[in-house]
């Protein structure tokens, strides 16, 4: 295997940012390759055959070995490199707690991303349509998840312990997108003070600002009414009320 891993990602993707921040915080050497999601490079059959049949990022290449899905990538990094135990747990109970969150995350908070995607990106891909059902579904899942996370954070300063783990990065970057897109308002944070305290703590970490820079810029553009130029024609968002090819 190659001595330096390749990391294929895009900075607007929440799971990509979670893995990128893990790489930066742990000091693992890697070669960075930004995949052009805006023009649909990931939609090409050649890309799917070579890297990931779903066409999704992030993707990690270690020589001939390719692994996708952010939680699997994080696990691989923790197994291969001598990173601090707090990222994936030192004991079997701690490791189970991190995995428990990651499994929950993929079917709850992650699906709330539809609120951000269909508010700001759908129009860039398919034009002006009625995306209200998708936005409503995303917000419902987001708010439902926040209610659970507020309780989750009564036990520890972070999601799985009193030290940060990869679970926290996964959750955190979902909220970064909702902040960038102005999906969450002051009243939402006021109802969930533990989540706000947790979010602010991670935002102060050394690499957070740099990792978040692009999505904050994109969010500002959309809030100003500017369209993001895209030629892609599919959505990677899950649980849609519309089909990507013929929205509306």
Q: Evaluate whether residue 229 is within a structural domain.
A: no
On whether the pTM is more than 0.75, the answer is yes
**Structural domain includes residue 241:** no
Alpha-carbon distance values, 194 to 148, 150, 155, 156 (Å): 11, 6, 11, 10
Residues 175 and 209 reside in one and the same domain:
yes
Instruction: Report pLDDT for 233.
Output: 76
* Whether pLDDT at 246 is above 60: no
43 & 77 share domain: yes
User: Are 155 and 211 within one domain?
Assistant: yes
Q: Which residues contact 55 (CB under 8 A, 6 or more apart)?
A: 42, 43, 47, 48, 234, 236
Instruction: Please give the mean pLDDT across all residues of the chain.
Output: 93
- Within this chain, do residues 126 and 219 fall inside the same structural domain, yes or no? yes
Count of domains forming the chain: 2
Give per-residue pLDDT as tens, 75-118. 999 999 999 999 999 999 999 999 999 999 999 999 999 999 99
Which residues constitute the domain of residue 120? Answer: 92-223
Residue 239, in any domain of the structure: no
Q: What is the DSSP letter of 184?
A: S
Q: pLDDT tens for residues 6-28?
A: 999 999 999 999 999 999 999 99
> Considering the chain, what percentage of its residues have pLDDT values greater than 90?
89
Average pLDDT over residues 67-81: 97
Question: How many CA atoms are closer than 13 Å to the CA of 164, on its beta-carbon side?
Answer: 20
Claim to verify: residue 35 and residue 151 sit in the same structural domain = no
User: Please, which residues bridge with residue 32 across strands?
Assistant: 7
pLDDT of residue 96: 98
Do residue 71 and residue 103 come from a single domain? no
Boundary of a domain, candidates 23, 56, 84: 84
Q: Of 30, 53, 84, which residue sits at a domain end?
A: 84
pLDDT band at 238 (very low <50, low <70, confident <90, very high): low
Per-residue model confidence (pLDDT) at position 234 = 74
- Lookup result for tokens 């066409």: 55
Report yes or no on 237 lying in a domain: no
Shared domain for 30 and 62, answered yes or no, is yes
Q: What burial class does residue 213 get, using C-beta atoms within 10 Å of its C-beta: 0-12 exposed, 13-18 middle, 19+ buried?
A: exposed
What distance in Å separates the CA atoms of residue 133 and residue 32, rounded to the nearest whole number? Answer: 36
Shared-domain flag, residues 100 and 178: yes
Please indicate, yes or no, whether residues 120 and 141 belong to a single structural domain of this protein.
yes
pLDDT digits (tens, 9 = 90+) for 113-151: 999 999 999 999 989 999 999 999 999 999 999 999 999
Over residues 182-192, mean pLDDT: 97
pLDDT score recorded for residue 232: 84
């Amino acid at each position: 295997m190659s001595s330096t891993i390749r990391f294929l990602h895009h900075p607007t993707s929440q799971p990509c940012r979670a893995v990128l921040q893990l790489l930066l915080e742990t000091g693992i050497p890697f070669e960075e390759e930004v995949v052009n999601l805006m023009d649909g490079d990931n939609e090409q059959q050649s890309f799917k055959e070579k890297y990931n049949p779903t066409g999704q990022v992030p993707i990690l290449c270690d020589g001939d070995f390719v692994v996708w899905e952010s939680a699997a990538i994080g696990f691989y990094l923790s197994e291969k490199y001598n990173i601090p135990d707090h990222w994936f747990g030192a004991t079997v109970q701690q490791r189970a707690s991190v995995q428990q969150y990651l499994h929950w995350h993929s079917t709850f908070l992650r699906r709330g991303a539809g609120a951000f995607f269909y508010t700001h990106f759908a129009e860039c891909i398919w034009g002006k349509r009625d995306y209200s059902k998708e936005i409503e579904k995303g917000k419902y899942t987001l708010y439902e998840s926040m209610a659970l996370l507020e309780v989750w954070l009564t036990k520890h300063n972070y999601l799985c312990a009193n030290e940060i783990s990869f679970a926290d990065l996964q959750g955190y970057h979902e909220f970064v997108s909702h902040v960038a897109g102005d999906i969450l308002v002051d009243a939402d944070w006021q109802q969930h003070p533990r989540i706000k305290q947790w979010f602010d703590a991670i935002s102060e970490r050394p690499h957070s600002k740099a990792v978040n820079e692009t999505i904050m810029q994109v969010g500002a553009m959309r809030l100003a009414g500017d369209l993001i130029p895209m030629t892609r024609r599919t959505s990677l968002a899950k649980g849609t009320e519309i089909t990507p090819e013929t929205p509306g």
